[in-house]
Amino acid sequence: MGHHSEAFIGIDTSKLKNAVAIADAGRDGEVRYLGEFDTTVAATRKLVAKLAARYDKLTFCYEAGPTGYGLHRLIESLGHACPVVAPSLIPKKAGNRVKTNRRDAEGLARLSRAGELTAVWVPDERHEAMRDLSRARGAAVDDLKSKRQQISSLLLRLGLHYPGQTTWGKAHRTWLSCQKIAQRESRIVFEELMGAERQAQDRVDRLAAAIRAAIPDWSLSPVVTALQAMRGIDLIAAVVLLAEIGDLSRFASPRQLMGYLGLVPSERSTGDSVTRGGITKAGNRRARCILIEAGWSYRYPPRIGRDKQAKVEAAPEAVRAIAWQAQTRLSGRFRTLARNGKRPTIVVTAIAREMCGFIWAIDRAMRQPGAAQA
């Protein structure tokens, strides 16, 4: 094989082996399957060096997945481009029913050469660590909810009903500690579940404390402070949003951010017929859920509570103005849509979509010179 100018390399990644295919530049360039290679750093370096000796320019690519971004960082450190591809946006033939590692690698190489692949945003290692931390807390919260549901289900079967309105507060826990269960076996189950619930709560508290301790050293710390001026967004919600979305400056407009989070209507149009459905639910589910939850707070009239006051005052003046504008706009919008007979779930989704615009504006305001010190 002679020396060529450019090549596109598709990698189908897995735990132990990476399937690799290469496509020569040009519409009629040859596409070859190179085989499977170990996922070790040494094997990857050797492969890249071998290909670099034959081509002036190399462009690698692979699908985003459970193998993470280590391969991307390694190849980029060797001086070659390696976009990580969004799996849901890879063009696929409707009639193709055969899927193998070789076919996937060759398909990635061809599509990369044709410019048909969409790259995802790759966080740096620090940002990825913050994302892992926020997701760990989210998993701990889900586990805590599961433990509490098991306790509630057990008590329901035993005919024990809490007379109060709000559960898992001080009064509810006092009530739980006073319950007398006749059967020894059921009492053991109840005590074990209560112990598991306390451990799950402690885990949530530890992870939340770790997030608070890590924020000052994070590059997005000023934006975390600024977002808390928005109604419905506390410290944890702000961290989750920024950890999942990443650098907001990569979105040229609020509409792009809305589309990225899957908060825009789906559409199926043909000819003169235009049909719009529910939101696409594309993009990041965790960030979208945070915005939906925050949207419910705008069903109340605009106001800044005592607990929220300190968070608002910590933000720059420009951010405070945007946050208050968001309150007045979205609170009125919520009531208007509700009066028009829209279902509450549809209303809160519309509010969450508009929140994206204000969040985008806050990030842009924070990027102005001297904004973080204002």
CATH at 50 = 3.30.420.10
- Pick from 160, 182, 217: which residue ends a domain? 217
Mean pLDDT of 308-322: 95
Residue 100 lies in a domain: yes
| 244 three-class SS | helix
Mean pLDDT of 45-71: 96
**In this predicted structure, what is the pLDDT of residue 373?**
59
Residue 373 lies in a domain: no
**In this predicted structure, what is the pLDDT of residue 283?**
85
Contact 281, 195 (CB under 8 A): no
Residues 210 and 225 in one domain: no
Residues 26 and 102 in one domain: yes
Residue 372 lies in a domain: no
**In this predicted structure, what is the pLDDT of residue 368?**
85
Which tokens go with 96?
């193709």
Q: Is the pTM of this model over 0.95?
A: no
Residues 350 and 229 in one domain: yes
Residues 360 and 233 in one domain: yes
Between CA 174 and CA 159 the distance in angstroms is 18
Neighbours of 307 (CB within 10 A): 8
Residue type, 127: H
**In this predicted structure, what is the pLDDT of residue 80?**
97
**In this predicted structure, what is the pLDDT of residue 274?**
77
DSSP secondary-structure letter at 180?
Answer: -
The mean of the pLDDT values for the chain is: 94
Contact 302, 324 (CB under 8 A): yes
**In this predicted structure, what is the pLDDT of residue 1?**
45
**In this predicted structure, what is the pLDDT of residue 268?**
82
Which tokens go with 197?
């619930």
**In this predicted structure, what is the pLDDT of residue 94?**
84
Residue 154 lies in a domain: yes
- Pick from 63, 79, 114: which residue ends a domain? 114
Residues 168 and 226 in one domain: no
Residues 189 and 325 in one domain: no
Q: How many Cα atoms within 13 Å fall on the side-chain side of residue 142?
A: 7
Residues 84 and 104 in one domain: yes
Residues 194 and 295 in one domain: no
Of 278, 155, 291, 188, residue with least CA distance to 232: 291
Number of domains in the chain: 3
Residues 339 and 243 in one domain: yes
pLDDT of 344 above 90: yes
Residue position matching structure tokens 């094989």? 1
Q: Which residues contact 183 (CB under 8 A, 6 or more apart)?
A: none
Element (H, E) at 273: strand 273-279
What is the tens place of the pLDDT at every residue in 81-107? Answer: 999 999 999 999 888 889 999 999 999
Domain boundaries, position 167:
125-217
